[in-house]
């Protein structure tokens, strides 16, 4: 009985050891499984986190790319707008270049016209200066010639008018020349006419004028007739003696230049106090007129041409500005 009991205890112990061993193995397996599951969970969590990080990074990159794309689109839009503006500016520059070329052509033509006008004005100015200087030259020549012949005369230094006292030429209220009047005229008129009819002055001469004046006494009409008769008497005497000092050509010229006028009591001579000097007012004036009218017409033509040119230039400028 005791041996059987020991045998049973021995078998039970073996089984118990096997059970303990299996329990230990199972526990080890459970531990391994737990460790494995823990590692797997940890790895999974890390993978999830890594995935989330990548997704977040990808979203960030995507947002940045979208922002850059938006910025690029805006820049492209701006570039497109700038290209349109550039095309407009190119077109405008082309139009301006065409206008500039046209204006340059106009300016070149105007410059040519201006050069021609300047040349013409210089020529005209020279002529005008010459004409203006002629009167002074004629007056100086008259003064020198009278002085050279020791003839004392009353000649105006500005106009060249020669004043003859009617009291010497005529008796009171008469129109017939006295002998002393004829002598004075025979001394004065040849010198005056010969100087004016010189070739250097004749081309500028328009008229040789004989004007008669009376004092302020009496009737205007009567004095007008008297002044006309007196100036005509001087002119007639000049035609009587002209052959003594003029050649045939000069005589013909004198006839075309000579003009006779009567002015009655007009333009009386006043004394220092402003009163009429009757003796001085009774007079005959011999004077000359150069071709002032032609000179004035010439100046008017120049001024008219200048005004027309200025108007054309202004119209051209205004048109260009429009």
Tokens of 147: 């002085």
pLDDT at 179 over 90: yes
The C-alpha angle with vertex 135 and arms to 188 and 244, in degrees rounded to 5, equals 30
Close Cβ partners of 192 (under 8 Å, ≥ 6 residues apart)? 142, 162, 286
Q: Is the pLDDT of residue 182 over 70?
A: yes
Place of tokens 């007012």: 281
Residue 173: what pLDDT? 92
User: In angstroms, rounded to a whole number, what is the distance separating the alpha carbons of residues 275 and 279?
Assistant: 12
pTM, two decimals, is: 0.56
Average pLDDT for 148-154 = 93
63 pLDDT higher than 80: yes
Q: What is the pLDDT of residues 32-58, one digit of tens each?
A: 888 888 888 888 888 888 888 888 888
Who wins on pLDDT, 58 or 252? 252
**DSSP state letters, 241-287:** HGGGT--HHHHHHHHHHEEEEE-TT-S--B-TTS-B-HHHHSEEEEE
The residue with tokens 């005529």 is 170
Are 188 and 153 in contact by the 8 Å Cβ rule? The answer is: yes
Average pLDDT over residues 290-301: 68
Query: Is residue 74 very low, low, confident or very high in pLDDT (cuts 50, 70, 90)?
Result: confident
């Amino acid at each position: 009985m005791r041996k059987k009991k020991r045998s049973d205890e021995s078998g039970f112990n073996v089984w118990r050891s096997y059970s303990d061993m299996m329990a230990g193995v199972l526990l080890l397996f459970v531990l391994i499984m737990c460790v494995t599951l823990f590692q797997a969970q940890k790895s999974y969590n890390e993978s999830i986190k890594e995935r989330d990080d990548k997704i977040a990074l990808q979203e960030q990159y995507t947002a940045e790319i979208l922002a850059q794309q938006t910025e690029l689109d805006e820049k492209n839009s701006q570039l497109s707008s700038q290209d349109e503006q550039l095309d407009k500016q190119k077109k405008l520059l082309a139009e301006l270049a065409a206008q500039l070329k046209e204006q340059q052509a106009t300016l070149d033509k105007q410059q040519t016209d201006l050069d021609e006008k300047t040349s013409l004005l210089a020529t005209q100015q020279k002529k005008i200066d010459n004409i203006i200087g002629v009167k002074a030259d004629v007056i100086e020549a008259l003064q020198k010639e009278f002085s050279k012949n020791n003839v004392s005369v009353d000649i105006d230094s500005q106009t060249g008018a020669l004043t003859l006292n009617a009291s010497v030429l005529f008796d009171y209220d008469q129109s017939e020349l006295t002998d002393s009047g004829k002598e004075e005229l025979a001394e004065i008129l040849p010198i005056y006419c010969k100087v004016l009819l010189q070739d250097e002055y004749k081309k500028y001469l328009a008229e040789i004028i004989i004007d008669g004046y009376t004092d302020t006494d009496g009737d205007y009409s009567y004095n007008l007739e008297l002044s006309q008769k007196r100036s005509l008497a001087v002119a007639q005497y000049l035609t009587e003696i002209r052959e003594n000092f003029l050649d045939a050509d000069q005589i013909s010229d004198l006839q075309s230049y000579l003009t006779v006028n009567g002015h009655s009591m007009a333009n009386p001579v006043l004394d220092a106090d402003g009163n009429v000097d009757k003796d001085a007012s009774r007079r005959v004036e011999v004077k000359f007129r150069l071709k002032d009218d032609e000179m004035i017409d010439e100046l008017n033509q120049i001024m008219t041409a200048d005004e027309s040119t200025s108007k054309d230039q202004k119209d051209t400028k205004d048109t260009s500005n429009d």
